[in-house]
Chain A
Amino acid sequence: MKMRLVALALCWCSASLFAQDYFPSNDGVKSKNNNYRAFTNAKIYVTPDQIITNGTLLIQNGKVVSVGKNVSLPQNTIVEDLNGKSIYPSFIDVFSDFGIEKPKRASGSGRASQYGPSREGFYWNDHIMPETDAIAKFKFDDKKAKELREVGFGVVNAHVNDGIARGTGVLVALNSDGNDADRILEDESAQFFSFEKSVTSRQSYPTSLMGATALMRQLYHDADWYAKGNVATKDRSIEALLANKNMPQIFAAGDNGNIMRADKVGDQFGIQYSILGGGDEYQFIDQVKQTNAKLIIPVNFPDAYDVSNPFAAKYVNLSDMRHWNLAPSNPSVLAKNGVDFTFTLHDLKSSKKFMENIIKAINYGLDKTVALKALTTVPAMVLGQSNSIGTLEKGKQANFLITSGDIFESNTTLFENWVQGKKNVINTMDQKDIRGDYDLVVDGKTYKMSITGALSKPKLKVKKDSTTLKSKLDYNADWISFSFTEDDNVLRFTGLVSPNTTVLTGNSILPKGKEVVYTANQTKTFQEKEEENKTADKPELVAVTYPNIGLGNTSLPKQETLLFKNATVWTGMEKLENTDVLVKNGKIAKIGTNLNASGAKTIDATGKHLTAGVVDEHSHIAGLSINEAGHNSSAEVKMADVVDPKDVNIYRNLAGGVTTIQLLHGSANPIGGRSAILRLKWGESADNLLFPDMPKFIKFALGENVKQSNWQSFSRFPQTRMGVEQVFMNYFQRAKEYDELKKSGAPYRVDEEMEVLAEILNGERFISCHSYVQSEINMLMKVAEKFGFRVNTFTHILEGYKVADKMAEHGVGGSTFSDWWAYKYEVKDAIPYNAAIMASQGVTVAINSDDAEMSRRLNQEAGKTMKYGGMSEIEAWKTVTLNPAKLLHIDHKVGSIEVGKDADLVLWSDYPMSVYAKAEKTIIEGAVYFDLEEDLKKRDAITAERAKLINMMLQDKATGGKTQAPVQRKKPLFECETL
């Protein structure tokens, strides 16, 4: 009611403010309101850094005319004395879907995948929709606008939150009194992107994060080609992308890893995105900072987990408990690291939580000025709109908030939110303070009445003698109405509050309908209680580890000078008893007996075995996705784009002596994606895990998986081994033609897929091919020979033993399982003697895992090659060290213990291929990444930290904090076939 009255009142003074001169008027006579409005005696935050006390803000026609200490007021000015209240620029949300209908999910039509696009005349991929204009789908939503204004927002930037290239946003002032002719500030405010497919199309590609990343890159290549006029047909998507390129570019990344991913795409094409984060940036703050991107940060601080049931509590990972504890500190961490950011309502369930959480962030150390910038000037800057919004300087939009005091204090009242010079009352300013204790006299009886709480929403307590009566109070626009229940009878009261009075009086209706006058005399004024310490004490924060999960390191391991004394040393070529090894500057410095080195940390290795670190040729740990299954070739995707440095399996692999892995694409398609070779430097960022000067590899695959034999899919080529060959022939032929064109110097369209395949033809990139049966193994070697290159590695290669002679002749290596078989038809003839037979024919043989469990005991799997086929212990040990290093072209650095090589070492408690052996220390480049003794300390630390956080969450619940059900976040375990 209150709002409507105010709105009506405003109609009179500003009805014509925005109507255009040339619009006819048939609802009255034309009239204009050119009056000024001044707000005096206010504390005015002109900008977050420029604050005027006792200042005046003068506005006219929706704009700021003047602001300052001494502002001369024209005669036609309505003056409002704010009497010490504060004025702030209103807030701006860069990332909103205000007024945009939620896109509808495409209805599924059976299980068949859709490989082609649904549209014509647009980009070949439905998820690329730069032609989408949010303004075309925009409808001003009054109800939502009111909700946003109540939080303090004046302007939001809305877009269609769907798809990879999402088109342009629309910048809207939340002015419910005007219309789209005046409140839309920018029709095409910014261009939006994300890594997530559109829900409106079922087109399969991309099925993965790395596919989405590659698609973004290819889109820019294609746009470049198109812009140069090389395309004869029309592509409305690319035309739109090009048309939008000078707008601010905003990327919806959604978490710290994706921030870095998005920024990398931008860097390649000279674009600096502003990036939507996820609230977890504190975990990799150095890397986030290095992007130099302005960030859009949600304040989606998680509720505590309800851990009151210990059974359920067990399901919650320490990393999630920590995030509950640390998330509110995220904004202050960003600020302390000098990262520019703006807050968004995005990803927050209730807008009511917004200010509450920002105040929480301030409690956790966020500077108030930075907070205000994040709500005003930074979003204006991100949108390139600093000249019209974000501050209250002369000429800017009159978008401001009037508050009772510091906007970042929880007991502050937001009175009004002015948008484009239009007043919106949130809480009435002239609400009289009725709080206090009263003696209520009605119908001859006296009651004790106490009114407390917030000025705008007071609470009532009524007592008869010592009995508290159930009561209710409403206070609205000077009218109070209250009631209470005595002996099952309800007494009702109304009254108009007079200014500066200590008496409440009016009519009461007694239970039998009789109306009498009541009087309540104030006996005690209300005392604002000292702000309960709730907000004052900064909560205890646990430490961030590297990476930030329970088993993370408290600090990053550093290179040490280490001297191993008296070990059995497996150099790779031989086994040396009672030998010393000196590690210095990350390298093997000396191997010998009776070595001494000053300053070295000496490790007594008597009775122990020292070997090179285990190298796993075929791994799927530390990846966020494994297969890009949307096309039968996905050479454009890179596993390096989706490295997950937080995967606990990295640590578990270290505990099994693994130091290097090849993170392979899966086997969903004949031509897979580019591999990443990783060093398991636990705690480092994704990029720092990449092997230095990483040799270039790609995954290929043959057989049942690429034919999609074992699930219901009948529409994608190839469905047979015959078709698989044709895919390769076709791609290599096209790559050859592409490469010839490129080398000729003629213009060409950059095609990432063709670039990668041409690298194979030119011997710059190596194939690791998933393979099972002899026919297909032979086939790929013949295809390679036709195109003049060599297949580097057959991985799995379970029937390699049947064509080992041919493999040796071709010069391809074999990386196989020790003893897997019988899980599908093509492994019917897989035998554990495979490794030994291939080795006997001169093939370089490795034993790999393809499995997060087996990888952490590859040393034992190597031992099985001695059992099955009788390999010698030196040759057996090579299958998990030097041979995979050779196959990966990194044997000049790792794989054996030789002076000058990198110090990637494992100290084993026992014979290294024995089931009884434990890795005691695992070292990469001279830094200890796993130490059994440190691991024992970590266990205690995890127990203690869990107990501490559980206790904190229980306390939070006990003091009324909201909770969520305990859940366990778990990423799936990947193997070749994981889609």
Chain B
Amino acid sequence: MKNIIVTLSLLVGITSWAQQTPAAAQTSPISIEGATAHLGNGEVIENALIMFQDGKLTYVGSANAKIARAGTVIKADGKHVYPGIIAPAKSLGLVEIDAVRPTRDMDEIGEMIPHVRSIIAYNAESQVVESMRPNGVLVGQIAPQGGTISGTSSIVQFDAWNWEDAAIKTDDGIHLHWPSTYRRGRWWLGEPRGYAPDKEYENNVTTIKEFLANSKAYGKTSNAEENPAFAAMKGVFDGNKKVYVYAHGEKEIADAVNNLKNSGVAEVILVGGYYAPKVASLLKKHSIPVLVRHTHNLPLTEDDDYDYPYKLPKLLVDAGLTVGMQNEDASNFQTRNLPFYAGQLVGQGMDKEVALQLITGNNAKILGIDKNYGTLEVGKSATLFISEGDALDMQGNSLTKAFIDGRDISLETHQTKLWKRYMGKYEAQGK
């Protein structure tokens, strides 16, 4: 404990009460040398050299290469470098404190409201968003919640002055919560707890089909009177917007995929997918990627294997699907645990680099931002971090540096400031 206090004493001076100031644009080249580089595409380079300039990676390769190190050189022997982790399907920045209603901006009234857009409500100065960064989570898809079609999401990076600064891809997709064939008993009305068949399922599906058909027809002509909901759906038919469909059940997934494909939706992504391994061939046939339910979850039924949630992503990877991972059903603050959700898969027999790929390269690919983000490849954004050890494990995940678009971002947060403040107090008391 003494060592920590010494370290802390050095840092206490810089604390202040405001949010972290976004870093300035990269002005000179940076080289990271000697680390193990995990590229996010399944590959790993020992003793790596990574160089970036003007926010873009200019070199990713072995440090044995006899080339000039550009700009500032960060010696990172024994350390690890990773692409910034990407968090899909979250309401980060839309809600600050779950129980305080004035801070909740993630769920608008209405069942079919694709015209409702998350980006304009995104709080770039959220303390919760800030707390993602020291664990390596640097990019997120900000999605509205609730209803059937919750609204339209956008993708942001986590070091910005405002939402315009933050945006990586605006209005990237709509979020559709597929109805369930079973529903929980309304126990407060005297129904038994637990799940019983929902007689409304077919009706609910019909409502979605009707909405899609209307949206498509609407888009084929110019309309004198605008229908904002139909208008917001235009992109899903021409491939400019993806449809993120949330479903877990075998029948629900099959119905969702078939109906959406039949309706002419260009790009469908399955979110959740508890029973997706049972319909893997259908998903494969339609090339549907899966943003799978994260691992730190309980089995849904009493009879399921205790480790089914731990291995679910692996089952889908083994079935040959493109798999990313999200934690849409968890509180926002938990999103900083994304690296550990991936780490859990290693105990299930998944290769570490593949596990990492789920939350970096694959998430980028599925969200459609892989041109710039998700992997360490020349020409892509220098959005990456350096960790003292294995970032997928609690003991190793300890960041010394993080960069977003080449900008050297702060790893301080509201939480580190309180830590230092109170350790400072006790230190002053001589304890």
Contacts and interface: CB of A to CB of B under 8 A. Distances in A.
Interface string B181-194: 11010000000111
A652 interface: yes
Contacts of A804: 422, 426
Contacts of A836: 1, 4
A840 B303 contact: no
Contacts of B393: 863, 914-916
A805 B305 CA distance: 45
Contact of B194 (A823, A828, A967): A967
28 contacts: A311-B249, A311-B250, A314-B250, A315-B301, A550-B303, A551-B306, A652-B298, A704-B99, A801-B419, A804-B422, A819-B333, A819-B336, A833-B418, A836-B1, A840-B4, A853-B297, A869-B4, A870-B1, A870-B4, A913-B395, A915-B347, A916-B346, A916-B393, A918-B347, A968-B196, A969-B193, A969-B194, A970-B193
Given A805-B429, A833-B415, A864-B394, A840 B1 contact: yes
Nearest to A911: B395
Interface of B: 1, 3-5, 96-100, 127-128, 181-182, 184, 192-197, 249-251, 275, 296-299, 301-303, 305-307, 331-333, 336-337, 340, 343-344, 346-347, 392-395, 397-398, 415-416, 418-419, 422-423, 426, 429, 431
A939 B305 contact: yes
Interface string A962-976: 000111111111000
Nearest to A967: B196
A969 B192 contact: yes
B192 A967 contact: yes
Contacts of B128: 822
Contacts of B415: 821, 831-833
B381 to A, nearest CB: 27
B99 A837 contact: no
Contacts of B96: 822
Interface in A58-109: none
Contact of A822 (B301, B332, B394, B398): B332
A824 interface: yes
Interface of A: 311-312, 314-315, 317-319, 549-551, 648-649, 651-652, 655, 704, 710, 801-802, 804-805, 819-825, 828-829, 831-833, 836-837, 839-841, 852-854, 856-857, 860, 863-864, 866-867, 869-870, 909-911, 913-918, 935, 939, 942, 946, 965-973
B420 to A, nearest CB: 9
Contacts of B431: 805, 840-841
Contacts of A549: 302-303
A915 B194 contact: no
Contacts of B337: 819
B422 A801 contact: yes
Given A805-B431, A821-B333, A914 B395 contact: yes
Contact of B302 (A317, A831, A833): A317
A804 B1 CA distance: 15
A831 B333 contact: no
A655 B347 CA distance: 13
Contacts of B302: 317-319, 549-551, 648, 970
A863 B99 contact: no
Question: Which residue among A802, A822, A840 has the maximum number of chain B CB atoms within 10 Å of its CB?
Answer: A822
A655 B398 CA distance: 28
Q: Please name the 5 residue pairs, one residue from A and one from B, whose CB atoms are nearest each other, closest first.
A: A824-B99, A863-B394, A915-B343, A833-B419, A550-B303
Contact of A853 (B298, B346, B398): B298
B193 A824 contact: no
A913 B305 contact: no
B303 A317 contact: yes
B299 to A, nearest CB: 8
A242 B3 CA distance: 70
Contacts of A965: 196-197
Nearest to B4: A870
B32 to A, nearest CB: 22
Contacts of B99: 704, 710, 823-825
Nearest to B423: A837
B418 A915 contact: no
A823 B98 contact: yes
Contacts of B299: 652
Nearest to A711: B99
Contacts, number: 172
Contacts of A315: 182, 195, 301
A946 B100 CA distance: 45
A649 B275 CA distance: 21
A852 B347 contact: no
Nearest to A833: B419
Given A318-B302, A867-B395, A837 B347 contact: no
A971 B193 contact: yes
B419 A968 contact: no
A418 to B, nearest CB: 41
Given A311-B251, A915-B344, A824 B196 contact: no
Contacts of A822: 96-98, 127-128, 331-333
Contacts of B197: 312, 965-967
Contacts of B426: 804-805, 837, 840-841
Contact of B347 (A317, A550, A802, A910): A910
A916 B97 contact: no
A641 B419 CA distance: 41
A840 B423 contact: yes
Given A823-B99, A828-B97, 4 more contacts: A833-B415, A870-B4, A910-B347, A915-B393
A804 B193 CA distance: 42
Question: Which residue among B393, B397, B431 has the maximum number of chain A CB atoms within 10 Å of its CB?
Answer: B393
Nearest to A909: B347
A967 B185 CA distance: 10
Contacts of B418: 801, 829, 831, 833
B192 A935 contact: no
Contacts of B275: 314
Question: Which residue among A825, A854, A935, A970 has the maximum number of chain B CB atoms within 10 Å of its CB?
Answer: A970
Contacts of A853: 296-298
B196 A942 contact: no
B34 to A, nearest CB: 23
B395 A968 contact: no
B98 A824 contact: yes
A465 to B, nearest CB: 47
A700 B416 CA distance: 30
A970 B195 contact: yes
Contacts of A913: 394-395
A954 B4 CA distance: 66
Given A837-B419, A967-B192, A967-B194, A916 B250 contact: no
B394 A866 contact: yes
A234 to B, nearest CB: 36
B97 A824 contact: yes
Contacts of B301: 314-315, 317, 968
A430 B297 CA distance: 69
Nearest to B95: A822
A652 B297 CA distance: 11
Contacts of A828: 97
Contacts of B193: 969-972
B100 A825 contact: yes
A916 B352 CA distance: 10
Nearest to A654: B306
B303 A942 contact: yes
B394 A915 contact: yes
Given A311-B181, A822-B331, A823-B99, A651 B306 contact: yes
B90 to A, nearest CB: 13
A970 to B, nearest CB: 4
Question: Which residue among B336, B394, B419 has the maximum number of chain A CB atoms within 10 Å of its CB?
Answer: B394
Contacts of B343: 915-916
Contacts of B398: 867
Contacts of A860: 340, 394
A171 B98 CA distance: 57
